Amino acid sequence: MTKGLAIVMFSGEAEKFIPLAVLTQTAANLGVPVKIFVTGYALAYFTKNKPEPRFTKEFEDMAPKLLEGMQRMQLPSWYDIIKEAKETGDVKIYACSLMAEVMGVKKEDLDPIVDDMVGAAFFMTETAEYQVIFI
Amino acid sequence: MSEKIVVDARGTACPGPITKLVRAYRQAKNGDIIEVLATDPGFKPDVQAWVKRTGNELVELTEENGVIKAVIKVTAKK
């Protein structure tokens, strides 16, 4: 079993938050530590003024079925899943300091589920022996 | 005193059943029995993997009318 899971969350499309949530929750359930590096288009969704989630244009026609299925399965929102995973296991969320500066996001603008704002060197060192997933 | 805890995860999808099991497991103590009911088709291999990973004991794993029942004996709490 891997020593931990490093997830680089770059995408901002609504559907990409499903694997983020499911992988994080699963790792927490199995006692695998998780560190998430939030960068790129994902960063905005980890701030206090989250934008409305948008689905990928090419798969827009699938979105209604996806949403309906998720509702039928009573799947909690990605945010609630991550919050629960943080209570269950060792899950840390880091905001990328470069992207934050680029987008004008300050530390105090970040959602409370974010643990800290860090640089890539910190994240890479912390997760050196982890399995890395890029979303 | 050992307790029997029943977790009804029917209707929830992956990772719901394992999440509900873990929630119950956090409150449990060694010797307790956790019985999980689930309809997620992925639950059978998932619960086996969870038991293997955490070192608890899978006493029973059955399926009837689309409902999977896993009976776990809590043995790995520190």
d(CA B68, CA A99): 45
Residue A51's domain spans which residues?
A: 5-134
Chain A residues whose beta carbon lies within 8 Å of the beta carbon of residue B18: 26, 29
pLDDT > 90? residue B78: no
Give per-residue pLDDT as tens, A9-54.
999 999 999 999 999 999 999 999 999 999 999 999 999 998 988 8
Give per-residue pLDDT as tens, A66-118.
889 888 888 899 999 999 999 999 999 999 999 999 999 999 999 999 999 99
pLDDT > 90? residue B19: yes
DSSP per residue, A96-134: EHHHHHHHT--GGGB-TT--EEE-HHHHHHHTTTSEEEE
Give per-residue pLDDT as tens, B27-51.
999 999 999 999 998 999 999 999 9
Q: What does the pLDDT read at residue A1?
A: 79
C-alpha dihedral, B48 to B54 to B56 to B60, nearest 10°? -10
Among B19, B21, B54, whose Cβ lies nearest the Cβ of A25?
A: B19
Who wins on pLDDT, A34 or A55? A34
- Domain of residue A107, CATH code: 3.40.1260.10
* pLDDT band at residue A60 using 50, 70 and 90 as cut-offs: confident
Structure token digits, residue A1: 């079993």
pLDDT > 90? residue A122: yes
Mean pLDDT, to the nearest integer, of B5-16?
93
Q: What does the pLDDT read at residue A70?
A: 87
* Gap from A61 CA to chain B (nearest CA, Å): 23
CB B38 within 8 A of CB B66: no
For residue A26, which amino acid is it? T
Residues 71-110 of chain A with CB under 8 A from chain B are: 73-75, 84, 88
CB A75 within 8 A of CB A66: no
Total count of domains within chain A: 1
